[in-house]
Amino acid sequence: MTKRKRFAAAACLLCAAAIPVLMTGCATARDSRAVARSSSQSASGTLDSWREGATRTAIESFVARTTDPASGDFVPEAERIAVFDNDGALWAEQPMYVQLAFIIDRVKALRAAHPEWETTEPFASLLKGDVKAVAAQGEHALGALVAATHGGMTDEEFRATVRAWLATTRHPTMGLRYDEMVYRPMVEMLAYLRAHGYRTFIVSGGGVDFVRAYASEAYGIPSDQVIGSTAKYRYEVRDGVPTVVKTGEIDFVDDGKGKPVGIASRIGMRPRIAFGNSDGDFEMLAWTTAGQGARLGVLIHHTDAAREWAYDRASHIGKLSRGLDEAPARGWVVVDMARDWKVVFRAEEPR
Amino acid sequence: MTKRKRFAAAACLLCAAAIPVLMTGCATARDSRAVARSSSQSASGTLDSWREGATRTAIESFVARTTDPASGDFVPEAERIAVFDNDGALWAEQPMYVQLAFIIDRVKALRAAHPEWETTEPFASLLKGDVKAVAAQGEHALGALVAATHGGMTDEEFRATVRAWLATTRHPTMGLRYDEMVYRPMVEMLAYLRAHGYRTFIVSGGGVDFVRAYASEAYGIPSDQVIGSTAKYRYEVRDGVPTVVKTGEIDFVDDGKGKPVGIASRIGMRPRIAFGNSDGDFEMLAWTTAGQGARLGVLIHHTDAAREWAYDRASHIGKLSRGLDEAPARGWVVVDMARDWKVVFRAEEPR
């Protein structure tokens, strides 16, 4: 891994932690814990949580044209690939990436078994709650935290840990479980595209096994259709039992220019549709929409300070600046969350 | 990439070339060019090319048990993952891996544009037909050949080159096109498993884009379900056009211990069924069958000198020794090609 990539990895996960107070338009705690949590929403493939308007029409028109054999824009089913960023595009990412909240909680949970962490960086600062000091230690600190919380176990063991954490942890200001902060309109979008023969993939800057822990239940996406940043794995025979172990050593960073690379390597086909929300998705959308034939790029613009958060050009998490500048010329659709979505979270009742 | 892995990469592709005369029981040229070449075989999911007997019964019994909700061995559809080695398991691999034949032909095809190759190794030896001398130059030679024939283009351009080569090239002794030397019984097996809710993946030591060039047509397997050895990709903007380019620099070797690692990374789930034919598949079968619940490991044993080739413990290509030794204790099914298959190649008429 190059120095540049390692830096990107560190920046990717920790920049959010550097300024935890950065919550541009943070919504206040809400009393919506008791709302319906059915995961059966929209298996029918309708966009009920999307308001009528130019955004919804543009997406529906694209899908209609590419699935109509009589259209010049028709796309054979084998080529119907749709890719989605995760953090900020399928679920919330403020005030810090959910995976970072998991890392912090895991260090606290493992504290008793690691008395040496009380006096060893970056653990000592993290345990004191000084996330800024951790971020200031750079990529080495990230590597140590990832290795300590993600390494040395099988992917199945790791995912069970993530699921147990998701089941018992609530967002600090929203009061919702993180997996309730999946965007209902996007869950509908995934089902809608699948109902039209598109296969849906996640292409996340987050760790692949973290996303795989809940992607099937939350999004209906199987583990092999989740692409993400990866740590190295190691095959070994433990007490006679063949085992694949996560090492915690970062191997591939699936962000920025890494996203088209991850897609080419894992999917082996240029997508027809790409959804993102930040400049980390710019290259994924640019490569997708530069292909021949009908292509669709969509940016989710976080404009809803009342129901979620409003942030874009100045945000340290999910910064969206170049994408907003170039979307019109590139023909990308920009979703205005406040305008285009009737509801935001999976936890909310449809209106 | 570690030294060990680079060596494995070199050995993987070139050991076959080191002793090109090694053709244990090579079948003679055959006059079967005019046979039916329909690719529509066995979409129905029946094992017509498999003879009745213990092998077929063992496989059918496993599939019946794992797909019967009333059985204690039932496997939910989401966990029905079947993985297949490619060279020697889905198509022929003698007297050298098909990808190596492609590399040799590509160097010859590009010769006129590279006059410097006439006096530069390893190209000079290769162009003189001295494959032994190329192999003796080790991993550096392999890297140069892969970079020259696989690098600098997009995956789409590369695969078009592979397809054009497959359409016009015949096996030196069999007289068949290489993609006619796909095993008909295995194409049936893929369709049979898919008809029973299993998703089928290729896990090949060969280059992923080489296999992807023909996997959809030959096997009905989409590109994202092909895992293989990979060269690095690079995202770049060429004359204003976003492009992902193959660098030709080897990044991951999907062989031996690399196969469980590739599966964990790409599929993210331990398979229920694994088919292989060589000791390069040992760890894949060992890891697969060490999982909880019903698991099936199958080795294709090349026993048919009359219709294909007979080789195992002494072969430099597709060596199968440890697998044969340990198959009984591990409960792996060993397919005897001569005994269990009515026909071998896709090119043959069913009997």
Q: How confident is the model over B70-118, as pLDDT tens digits?
A: 999 999 999 999 999 999 999 999 999 999 999 999 999 999 999 999 9
- Nearest residue on chain B to A80, alpha-carbon basis: B222
**Residue B235: its chain A contacts at CB < 8 A?**
257-258, 260-261, 283, 287
Give the integer Cα–Cα distance in Å for A68 and A73: 8
pLDDT at residue A90 in the model: 98
**Mean pLDDT across chain B, nearest whole number?**
88
Could you tell me which of B208, B272, B210 has the C-alpha nearest to residue A266?
B208
**Residue B270: its chain A contacts at CB < 8 A?**
156
Give the integer Cα–Cα distance in Å for B202 and A211: 24
Give the pLDDT confidence of A214-273 residue by residue, as tens digits: 999 999 999 999 999 999 999 999 999 999 999 888 899 999 999 999 999 999 999 999
Pairing of strands B333-336, B296-303: parallel
pLDDT at residue A1 in the model: 43
Whether residues B224 and A224 touch (CB distance < 8 A) is answered with: yes
Give the pLDDT confidence of A15-30 residue by residue, as tens digits: 333 333 223 333 333 3
Shortest CA gap B15–chain A (Å): 24
Pairing of strands B81-84, A81-84: unpaired
**Residue B261: its chain A contacts at CB < 8 A?**
233-235, 244
Give the integer Cα–Cα distance in Å for A171 and A239: 40
Whether residues A224 and B265 touch (CB distance < 8 A) is answered with: no
**Residue A260: its chain B contacts at CB < 8 A?**
233, 235, 242, 244
> Which has more confidence, A214 or B5?
A214
Shortest CA gap A89–chain B (Å): 22
Q: What is the mean pLDDT of residues A309-325?
A: 97
Shortest CA gap A204–chain B (Å): 14
- Nearest residue on chain A to B156, alpha-carbon basis: A269
Give the pLDDT confidence of A111-147 residue by residue, as tens digits: 999 999 999 999 999 999 898 898 899 888 888 998 9
For A235, the closest of B212, B241, B287 (CB atoms) is: B287
Give the pLDDT confidence of A83-111 residue by residue, as tens digits: 999 999 999 999 999 999 999 999 999 99
pLDDT at residue B187 in the model: 98
pLDDT at residue A28 in the model: 35
Q: What are phi and psi of B329, to 5 degrees?
A: -65, -30
Residue A58 pLDDT more than 90? yes
**Residue A155: its chain B contacts at CB < 8 A?**
264, 268
Give the pLDDT confidence of B134-170 residue by residue, as tens digits: 889 988 888 899 899 998 899 999 999 999 999 999 9
pLDDT at residue A44 in the model: 64
Give the integer Cα–Cα distance in Å for B324 and B277: 10
pLDDT at residue B313 in the model: 98
Residues 6+ apart with CB under 8 A from B22: B95, B315, B316, B317
For A224, the closest of B233, B257, B268 (CB atoms) is: B268
Q: Which residues of A sit within 8 Å Cβ distance of B? A: 78, 81, 155-156, 199, 201, 208-209, 212, 216, 222-226, 230, 233-235, 237, 241-244, 257-258, 260-261, 263-270, 283, 286-287, 290
Interface confidence, given as ipTM, is 0.88
What b/e sequence results for A232-271 when a residue is b if at least 16 CB atoms lie within 10 Å of its CB, and e otherwise?
bbebeeeeeebebbbebbbbbbbbbbbbbbbbbbbbbbbb
pLDDT at residue A132 in the model: 86
Residue A10 pLDDT more than 70? no
Angle between helices A258-266 and A282-289 (to 10 degrees): 60
Partners of A231 in beta bridges? A250
Host H or E run for residue A156? helix A155-168
- Please report how many Cα atoms fall inside a 13 Å half-sphere around the Cα of residue A2, on the Cβ side: 5
Host H or E run for residue B81? strand B81-84
For A235, the closest of B209, B244, B261 (CB atoms) is: B261
Whether residues A235 and B257 touch (CB distance < 8 A) is answered with: yes
Provide the token pair at B110: 């590009």
For A242, the closest of B78, B267, B286 (CB atoms) is: B286
Contact (Cβ atoms closer than 8 angstroms) between residue A224 and residue B266: yes
Residue-level length of chain A: 351
Partners of B237 in beta bridges? B242
Neighbours of B217 (CB within 10 A): 13
Could you tell me which of B234, B236, B237, B238 has the C-alpha nearest to residue B246?
B234
For A290, the closest of B223, B241, B265 (CB atoms) is: B241
Could you tell me which of A190, A193, A168 has the C-alpha nearest to residue A101?
A168
Give the integer Cα–Cα distance in Å for B346 and A15: 55
Provide the token pair at B350: 């069913």
- Nearest residue on chain B to A207, alpha-carbon basis: B265
Taking 3-state DSSP, the helix, strand and coil percentages for chain B, each rounded to the nearest 5, stand at 45, 20, 40
**Residue A290: its chain B contacts at CB < 8 A?**
241-243
> Which has more confidence, A31 or B65?
B65
pLDDT at residue A97 in the model: 94
Q: What are phi and psi of B237, to 5 degrees?
A: -100, 110
Selected residue of A224, A295, A330 to mutate for chain B interface (largest B Cβ count, 10 A): A224
Q: What is the mean pLDDT of residues A5-17?
A: 42
pLDDT at residue A5 in the model: 47
Q: In chain A, where do the E strands start and end?
A: 81-84, 199-207, 226-238, 241-252, 273-276, 296-303, 310-311, 333-336
Residues 6+ apart with CB under 8 A from A237: A243, B286
Whether residues B261 and A234 touch (CB distance < 8 A) is answered with: yes
**Residue A78: its chain B contacts at CB < 8 A?**
216, 222
Residue B296 pLDDT more than 50? yes
Could you tell me which of A214, A176, A215, A202 has the C-alpha nearest to residue A308?
A176
Q: What is the mean pLDDT of residues B33-50?
A: 57
pLDDT at residue B40 in the model: 38
pLDDT at residue B139 in the model: 81
pLDDT at residue A148 in the model: 93
Q: What is the pTM of this model?
A: 0.89
SS3 assignment, position B227: strand
Angle between helices A155-168 and A98-109 (to 10 degrees): 100
- Please report how many Cα atoms fall inside a 13 Å half-sphere around the Cα of residue B142, on the Cβ side: 23
DSSP B270: -
Point out the least confidently predicted range of A31-35, A183-187, A306-310, B341-345: A31-35
Could you tell me which of A234, A311, A293, A281 has the C-alpha nearest to residue A65?
A293
CA dihedral B311→B316→B317→B321, nearest 10 degrees, is 60
Give the integer Cα–Cα distance in Å for B87 and B259: 14
Shortest CA gap A289–chain B (Å): 9
Give the integer Cα–Cα distance in Å for B248 and B13: 14
| Residue A176 identity (one-letter amino acid) | L
Whether residues B78 and A222 touch (CB distance < 8 A) is answered with: yes
Whether residues B224 and A266 touch (CB distance < 8 A) is answered with: yes
**Mean pLDDT across chain A, nearest whole number?**
88
Give the integer Cα–Cα distance in Å for B258 and B253: 6
Pairing of strands B226-238, A310-311: unpaired
Selected residue of B1, B159, B224 to mutate for chain A interface (largest A Cβ count, 10 A): B224
Shortest CA gap A324–chain B (Å): 18
Give the pLDDT confidence of B200-249 residue by residue, as tens digits: 999 999 999 999 999 999 999 999 999 999 999 999 999 999 999 998 88
Shortest CA gap B173–chain A (Å): 33
Give the integer Cα–Cα distance in Å for A239 and B270: 19
CA dihedral A133→A139→A140→A143, nearest 10 degrees, is 110
Give the integer Cα–Cα distance in Å for A283 and A279: 8
SS3 assignment, position B213: helix
Give the integer Cα–Cα distance in Å for B313 and B322: 8
Shortest CA gap A15–chain B (Å): 24
Q: What are phi and psi of A33, to 5 degrees?
A: -70, -25
Confidence of residue A75 (pLDDT cuts 50, 70, 90): very high
DSSP B78: G
Residues 6+ apart with CB under 8 A from A229: A9, A12, A204, A205, A206, A207, A208, A250, A252, A253, A254, A255, A258
SS3 assignment, position B34: coil
Could you tell me which of A53, A120, A98 has the C-alpha nearest to residue A339?
A53
Residue A325 pLDDT more than 80? yes
SS3 assignment, position B58: helix
Percentage of the residues of chain B whose pLDDT score is greater than 90: 78
pLDDT at residue B57 in the model: 98
CA dihedral B340→B342→B345→B348, nearest 10 degrees, is 180
Contact (Cβ atoms closer than 8 angstroms) between residue A1 and residue A250: yes
Could you tell me which of B5, B247, B204, B190 has the C-alpha nearest to residue B97?
B204
DSSP B74: -
Give the integer Cα–Cα distance in Å for B242 and B240: 7
- Nearest residue on chain A to B247, alpha-carbon basis: A261
Provide the token pair at B54: 């213990």
